Amino acid sequence: MAKEETLKSMGNYWLFPYKSADFDVDACLKKHNLVLWHLTNSTENKLKKGDLVFLYDSAPNSRITFLMKVIEPYLENPVLPYNEDKFWKNAKAKKETAAKYKHSCLLEIVEAINSFDLTYREIKGRDNSFSVQWQHRISGKALIYILDVAYGIIDKRLECNDEQPLTEGKETRGALVTRERNLKARQECIGRKGYKCTVCGMEFEKVYGELGKGFIHVHHVVPVSARNGEYEVNPEKDLVPVCPNCHAMLHRKGTITVEELREIIARNKK
């Protein structure tokens, strides 16, 4: 399969620009873990439940700040569980947004990113076609780079030394409540099982060459959120390497097993 075709087959990853100078997304997410997002006409008919969205703060920060998940892709007259007005900083921008965009979606936070490795300049340097002017699906080299940095940040939330037991699940508070992912456990999983997707068999280095070298997601066989607090991780039994596409599908409608997803792929290849 050609590189371009492989990129197009990946899960839906979007970029939604905003201005934190106009609307305080950070405060909204700290308080409620979700945010109503106004959709452009070109986006509203394409967005799907379960799609992942990178929020890009164009002013003043000029970088990706949050990874979000679409929980309601199309809302015409939304009833929010919070008062949106208190998060608006710019009354004129609020009025213009309400007049310009008639439909919205509801986004739930996955992780705070906010990395200087994901500024416009850094991403543009890897993919000259990258743009932040409108809501759009991310593709090409920009997507590969963004995923590599973003999931690297998520994996490195907790670094433990060699003497510590491999535990996960302890709740910590930063911009939001998160579940710690153990870097050492991830490294042990990859060390034992390699960079080949356990579900579909894809290897990024074989498709993208040097660009894809060392890139893979790690999937928790039992979701961390389903565990009862902190627990000891067994990298052999609890973790498997998967490509981003299969990782998204494993979580798209609740949680399905690796074996079930393999069967789905096999059925649809016939």
Domain of 255 in residue numbering reads as 161-269
Q: Are residues 139 and 165 in the same domain?
A: no
The whole-chain average pLDDT of the chain stands at 81
In a domain, 149, yes or no: no
Q: Count the Cβ atoms, other than its own, within 10 Å of residue 154.
A: 19
Question: Dihedral, CA atoms, 79, 83, 86, 92, nearest 10 degrees?
Answer: 20
Whether 187 and 97 share a structural domain: no
Note the Cα 81 to chain centre separation in Å. Answer: 23
Q: What is the pLDDT of residue 164?
A: 45
User: Do residues 229 and 111 share a domain?
Assistant: no
Residue 154's pLDDT band (cuts 50, 70, 90): low
Q: Judge whether 68 lies within some domain.
A: yes
Residue 243 CA to residue 258 CA, distance in Å, equals 12
Per-residue pLDDT at 230:
59
Residue 45's pLDDT band (boundaries 50, 70, 90)?
A: confident
- Among 143, 169, 196, the domain boundary falls at 143
* Span 193-230, pLDDT tens digits: 999 999 999 999 998 888 888 888 888 887 655 555 55
Do 182 and 113 share a domain, yes or no?
no
Among 50-54, 100-104, 196-200, the least confident range:
100-104
Cα 37–chain centre separation? 16
85 with 177, same domain? no
Query: Would you say residue 22 lies in a domain?
Result: yes
pLDDT digits (tens, 9 = 90+) for 5-29: 433 344 589 999 999 999 999 999 9
Task: For the chain, give the percent of residues with pLDDT over 90.
Answer: 39
Phi, psi of 64 (to 5 degrees): -70, 135
- pLDDT the model gives residue 177: 37
Residue with tokens 């097993």: 257
As a whole number, mean pLDDT of residues 118-129 equals: 94
CATH number for the domain including 52?
3.10.590.10
Tell whether 171 is covered by a domain: yes
DSSP 227: S
Of the three residues 84, 108, 143, the one that is the final residue of a domain is: 143
Q: Is residue 11 located within the same domain as residue 112? A: yes
- The total domain count for the chain is 2
pLDDT of residue 150: 84
For residue 269, pLDDT over 70 is answered with yes
Please check whether residue 64 lies inside any domain of the structure.
yes
Q: Which residues contact 260 (CB under 8 A, 6 or more apart)?
A: none
Beta bridge partners of 179: 171
Crossing angle of helices 258-269 and 244-252, rounded to 10°: 110
